[in-house]
Structure 1
Amino acid sequence: MIQYVLESLVFQLIFLLTYDLFLKKETFFQWNRIYLIGTFTLSLILPWIRIEALQALVPNELIVYPSFLWQLDEITVYSKNNNESFFESISWEHMVFGIGMLVMYCWFSIKLFQILRLKHKGDVHYHKDYTKIVVPKSGTAFSFFRNIFLGQDIKQDKQQQIIAHELVHVRQLHTIDLIFFELMRIIFWFNPLVYVYQSKASELHEFIADSEVSKGNKKEQYQLLLSDVFRTQNISFVNQFFKKSLIKKRIVMLQKEKSGKIYRLKYLLLLPVTVSMLLYTSCENEKGRIDSSIRKEKNESFLVVDDLNNMSESEKNIQQRLTDELIQLKSPQTLMVEDGSNSVKLYIDKGEIKKVEVQKNSVEDKKAGSKINGDPTPFNIVDKVPIFPGCENAEDQKSCFMEKIREHITTNFEYPEKAEEMGIQGNVNVLFTITREGQVTGIRMRGPHELLEEETHRIISKLPQMQPGKHQGRIVEVPFSIPIKFEL
C-alpha cells in the first residue's frame, strides 16, 4: 500500500509539473480541464497496471524505494487474542488514516450544511436554467450546481453580468469537477497534491467562464473584475466570482491572445510521460525477485535461487554480497542456498568459510513423496504455472495462484498456543514442490522455532491438488517458495 501511495504521488507531481511548464499559459481551457481530471485519475490507475510486453529486469541501483518498503511475496499472519478489543486490533497507521478521513468527511458535511443554510436564509427565485438565491446582508457571489447565490449588497447593474458568468459554470457542470476533488481530499487527505489539483481546476473554471462572457464585451468584464472585491465563502467546492487570489490571473488571461492550434501538439507530451510510467510499473527488479527470497534468523541466512547448477549473474552477486556481509560478523554464521531440490550450506567463522556442505534430494524429500525425474522448472520461468483450483479461467494465472496461496494460508492459519505463550514470532521460509501429478510434496522449512515450522507444514500440507505446470510443451515439476511472517 505504501508503494502504491508513493507511486501515485510521484505520478501526480510529474503530471502537475508538465502542466505548469507547458500547458498552463495556453488558452485551451477545455483541454486543460480534461488534462487535470484525466491525469489525476491516471495517477490512481497506473500503479496497478502491469504490461508483460514492457517488463524488464531493473538493477538494484535504480530502485528508488528503500528496502524496508519492499515485502514482496511475504505473508504476515497474526496471533488472535479473543480478549482483544476492536480498537486494539487496528494498527496505529490504519487508525490515523481513518481519523483523517473522518475529520475531512465532517468538514465536507459542514460546508454542505453552510450552503443549505444560505439557501434557507435567502430569497429563492426559480428560473428555467438556474435557481437564483438572494442572500440578505451579503456581498457574496458563487454557484453550486444549478444554484446561483448573489448577495443583496451587490449592485443591480452588476448582477446580470455575474449571473451570465455563473451560468457558464452551471451549463458546463463545473461543480462536478470540484466535488470529485473534494471526495479525493477525503480519501487522500494526507496528499497535498490533491489540494493543488482542486485549486488549478477552480482557476480553470474561472478562465473558461470569463472567456465565454467576454466574447461580447471585454471592457465590461475588466471593469467588473477591477471593482470592489466582495466577501467570499470559505467553501472549496463552489465557483466563487469574487475571489481575490484569482482576480489578477483572470485579468491576465483575458488579455492573452488565443493560442494557435499548433500549440495543441504540446498535449502529445502526455504520451511519452504515460509510457514511461507504464514501463516503470511493469518492470521487475532484482531486489523484488531475489531479495524477497532472503531471510535472516539469528546466525542463519537463507537464500532461494532458481537453479543452483545454473545461477544467474544477479543471483551470484546476491550470494557474494551475503557471504561478504556474514564474513564481517564476529559470531559464527551459516548461509543456506537452495533451489527447491538441492542445497549448499556454508559455515562461516572468524572471517572465512570453514566448511561447505552439498545436499542433493534429501531422504526427507523422498519420504514426503517427491518424485523428481529430471530438473524441476523454477516458478519464475515456467511457461505455464500450476493452476490452483478456481484459477482455471483467470486471465493472469500466476497472480491468481499467488492470491489463492495467500488466501489458503490466512484462512487455515492458527497461531500455535505454546508459541504465543512463549512469545515466539518471526519468519518461516517454506519450500515445496508441485509434482507432475499436481501434488504438493517435499515440504521444507526454516524458521526461528519448531512450533512455527510445524504450523507452516500443517498449512502447506493442506494445499489442494492442482493442475501441474507446463514448460516447453511438457508437464514439469515446479518448486515454489514463500516466506510466512508470524507476528504476535
Structure 2
Amino acid sequence: MHTWLNYIVEANIGLLLFLLLYKALLSKETQFSYRRFYLLGGLLLSLLFPWLTIGAPVDMVPTLSETLPDHWLPATLEQPQNTAVHSTFNFWEFAFWIYGSVALLLFIRFVYQIIMLIRESEKAKTSLPVIEVDNSSFIAFSFFKLVFISKAFNLNEADKQRILQHEQVHIRKWHSVDMVLIELVRILFWFNPLLSYYKKEMSMVHEFEADEVASGNEHQDQYCSLLARSAIESSGYALANHFNNSLTLKRITMIRTLKQKVKQWKTGIVFLFVSILFLGIACQDQIAAEMNGLSQTTTVAGDFPDHLLPVVEQIKKENPGIKLMYVEAESINEEKIRSLNPNKILHTSHTRNMDDKGNIISERVELIIKTDDSISQLGDMTKSDDDVFLVVEANASPIGGMTALYEAINRELKFPEQAVKMGIEGKVFIEIIIEPDGSTSNHRPLKGIGAGCDEEAVRAIKAANVKWNPGKQRGVAVRQKFVIPITFTLSGDASTGTVIPKEKKMIISSDVSYQNGKAIVNGTVTTEDGKPIPGMNIVVSGKTYGTVSKADGTFSLMLEEKSGELAFSFIGFESQKVRIN
C-alpha cells in the first residue's frame, strides 16, 4: 500500500479507537481539563504514531552478509530519465490528486472564514478586545483574544459581564487553538464523519470549562437563567467558541453537578491503550517483514522496481504460489513481444527516455512474466546491441556452486570502518558481465549506500576472482549480465555467508572471594592499551543471569556456586571465557 494511503488509514484508525475509549470511559466525567487533554492528545497522537516505526531486533555485532537470490535476475535498477511514459494507468496517483484537490478547496474555505473574522473585527474600529456587531445569529463568541457580542439582543450589564467572564475563560485557556487544530485535521481527513463528532465533543468540553469558572457558586442560578434565555441555535462561525449552543440543558446540568476527579484505574487504562496502539502501529514494519519472510514464492520484493510493487502484489494475491520474474530490456522489437505466449506475460510497461529537445534517446520495456520453459524466447528478445544477454536459456553459474562463491567473496570482504562508525546498512547492487570463458568483467555499482560500501563490494567481487560456467543461448556460450546484491547489515550469521570485521582483544583481570558457599567475582575489563570498556556483557555460562561492566570497566558478580565460567562479549571485541574455581 502506498505510504500516504497507509498514513491516512492508520491515523483514522487511531482517531476511531481514541474516540471509542473516550465514549466508554470519559464522556461523562466532570474533570473537564482531563477530558480536553485526552481529546487533544488523542488527536495529536493519531497524527504522530503512523510516522514512528520500530524495526526488527538488531544484533549488536556488526557483520556484512552477502545475499544471492534463488533465481538470477537481470538488471532492474532505474536509470536517470528526462521523460517517462508508461502504458498503464496509475490509479493511486490519480486518487492522490483527487484527494488532495478536495483538501485544498476545504483549506481555502477555512482561510476565507478566518479572513472574514478579521474583517469583522476591523469594521468595529476599536482597539478594545470586545467588539459589538449587528449579527443576530449569535449572542457572543470568542476567537483567540477577540470577543464578539451581538447588538441584536437586549442584554443588561450584569448579563454582559457574565458573558465576558465566560469568553475570557475561552481566551485564557486557548480554546481557539484546539478548534483550529481540529478544523485542520478535518480538512486533512475530510472523508471521516467521526471528526465532526470529535469537534462537537471538544466544543462541549470548552463550554463546560468556561461555565465552571464563569458561573461561580454564588451566581449559579443567575447564570443558568442566562443560559436558558440565550438558548438559540448558533451558526455561521464554525471556528468560534459560542456562548450559546444546542446543548444548553447539558451545560446547566453540569453546572449543578458535583465535580470529581477521574479515577486512577481509568487513567491506567488510557495509558495502557496508548502503549498498545503505539506498539501496534509502530511495529507494523517488523511484522510485515516477518510475514514476507514466510512467502512460498521465489519472488523477492526488492527485485522489482518500486513502481511495479503494487502490480506484483496484486498478481500474487490473485495467483497464490505463482513464480514471477522481472525482465527489463532495451530497444525490444514489438513483434518479438507479440510472438510470446500472452498468457505468460502478466504485465508490460514501455518507457521512453528523451532529451531536452524531445528526441528519443532509448526505449525500455519492462515485463513481469511467469518463469517457465519459454525463457528461450526472452533470451532472443532481450539481446542487446553489444551481444550481452540479459536472459538466456541456461543461466551462468559459479563453479563449485553458491557455497564456493560465498566463501570466496567472504574471504575478501572487509567491513568498511566508516560504515561501522556511521551505522550504515543497506543493499549494494553490483553489475557484472559473465564472459564466455567464465571470467567476469565490467564490475560497477548500479545502486549503493556510500560510506565505502560500494567500492568494497566491487573490490571483493573482483578479488574473489570466481570462475563461472558461462550462460548459454541455443547451446552457445554467450556474455550475460547479472546484478549481484550485497547486503550490508548490522546482524549476520557466518554459516550463511557473512564476514565479521576484525575484532579487538580485551584484557580481563579479576579477584575471587567466597561467602556462604558462593563465589563473588570482582574485576575489570580494558582494551589492550588499558582503556576501560563500559557495558561489557558478562554472563555465567549455562545460566540465565549475569551483569555488565560499569563506566570505569569494573564489574561485580555473585555466582550461585563456588565455581563456574564467565563469558565476556562486546561489540568489536573477541569473546572470551574465564574459568572460576
Which TM bucket (shorter chain)?
0.5 to 0.7
Q: Within 5 Å, give how 1:304-453 maps onto structure 2.
A: 322=321, 363-365=396-398, 372-374=405-407, 393-394=422-423, 397=424, 401=426, 439=461
TM-score by length of 2: 0.50
Q: Deviations over 1:359-414 (max 9, x none)?
A: xx97444699996245999xxxxxxx9889879525xx55xx26999xx9899xxx
Work out whether residues 169 and 239 of structure 1, in 8 Å CA contact, stay in contact via their aligned partners in 2: yes
Work out whether residues 436 and 468 of structure 1, in 8 Å CA contact, stay in contact via their aligned partners in 2: no
Work out whether residues 122 and 136 of structure 1, in 8 Å CA contact, stay in contact via their aligned partners in 2: no
Match of 1:193 in 2: 194
Q: Deviations over 1:197-226 (max 9, x none)?
A: 222211111010011112232111210111
CA distance in structure 2 between the partners assigned to 1:304 and 1:473 by the alignment: 22
Q: Deviations over 1:14-61 (max 9, x none)?
A: 110100110110111111111111111111222233335899xxxxxx
- Say which one has the larger Rg: 2
Secondary structure of 1:170's match? helix
CA distance in structure 1 between the partners assigned to 2:44 and 2:25 by the alignment: 20
Alpha carbons of structure 1 residues 119 and 367: separation in structure 2 relative to 1, 3 Å:
farther
- 1:117 matched to 2:119: yes
Work out whether residues 388 and 466 of structure 1, in 8 Å CA contact, stay in contact via their aligned partners in 2: no
Match of 1:446 in 2: none
Alpha carbons of structure 1 residues 180 and 197: separation in structure 2 relative to 1, 3 Å:
same
Match 1:13 to one of 5, 12, 16: 16
CA distance in structure 2 between the partners assigned to 1:409 and 1:156 by the alignment: 80
Match of 1:220 in 2: 222
- 1:97 matched to 2:99: yes
Match of 1:180 in 2: 181
> What's the offset of the Cα at 1:136?
2.5
Bigger drift between 365-374 and 1-10 goes to 365-374
> What's the offset of the Cα at 1:106?
1.3
Match of 1:49 in 2: 52
Work out whether residues 428 and 447 of structure 2, in 8 Å CA contact, stay in contact via their aligned partners in 1: no
Work out whether residues 27 and 35 of structure 2, in 8 Å CA contact, stay in contact via their aligned partners in 1: yes
Secondary structure of 1:133's match? strand
In the alignment, residue 405 of structure 2 is paired with which amino acid?
Answer: I
Match of 2:517 in 1: none
> What's the offset of the Cα at 1:470?
5.6
Work out whether residues 122 and 134 of structure 1, in 8 Å CA contact, stay in contact via their aligned partners in 2: yes
In the alignment, residue 94 of structure 1 is paired with which amino acid?
Answer: F
Alpha carbons of structure 1 residues 267 and 18: separation in structure 2 relative to 1, 3 Å:
same
Secondary structure of 1:91's match? helix
- Listed as ranges, the gaps of 5+ residues in structure 1 are 56-73, 295-301, 306-317, 325-330, 334-344, 348-360, 378-384, 412-433, 443-455, 479-488
Match of 1:380 in 2: none
Alpha carbons of structure 1 residues 135 and 52: separation in structure 2 relative to 1, 3 Å:
same
Match of 2:279 in 1: 279
In the alignment, residue 162 of structure 1 is paired with which amino acid?
Answer: I
In the alignment, residue 49 of structure 2 is paired with which amino acid?
Answer: L
CA distance in structure 2 between the partners assigned to 1:274 and 1:54 by the alignment: 22
* Aligned-CA RMSD value: 5.1
Aligned-residue sequence identity (percent) comes to: 23
Match of 2:253 in 1: 252
Secondary structure of 2:141's match? strand
Match of 2:131 in 1: 133
Question: Which structure has more helix as a fraction of its residues?
Answer: 1
Alpha carbons of structure 1 residues 438 and 410: separation in structure 2 relative to 1, 3 Å:
closer
> What's the offset of the Cα at 1:112?
1.0
Secondary structure of 1:99's match? helix
- 1:471 matched to 2:474: no
Q: Deviations over 1:80-124 (max 9, x none)?
A: 64799xxx9993112112211211111102211221232133363
Secondary structure of 2:35's match? helix
Secondary structure of 2:405's match? coil
CA distance in structure 2 between the partners assigned to 1:40 and 1:110 by the alignment: 24
> What's the offset of the Cα at 1:279?
3.3
In the alignment, residue 243 of structure 1 is paired with which amino acid?
Answer: N
Work out whether residues 428 and 488 of structure 2, in 8 Å CA contact, stay in contact via their aligned partners in 1: no
Secondary structure of 1:242's match? coil
> What's the offset of the Cα at 1:268?
1.6
In the alignment, residue 14 of structure 2 is paired with which amino acid?
Answer: F
- Listed as ranges, the gaps of 5+ residues in structure 2 are 59-75, 302-316, 324-341, 345-370, 374-393, 431-444, 449-455, 467-479, 500-581
Match of 2:539 in 1: none
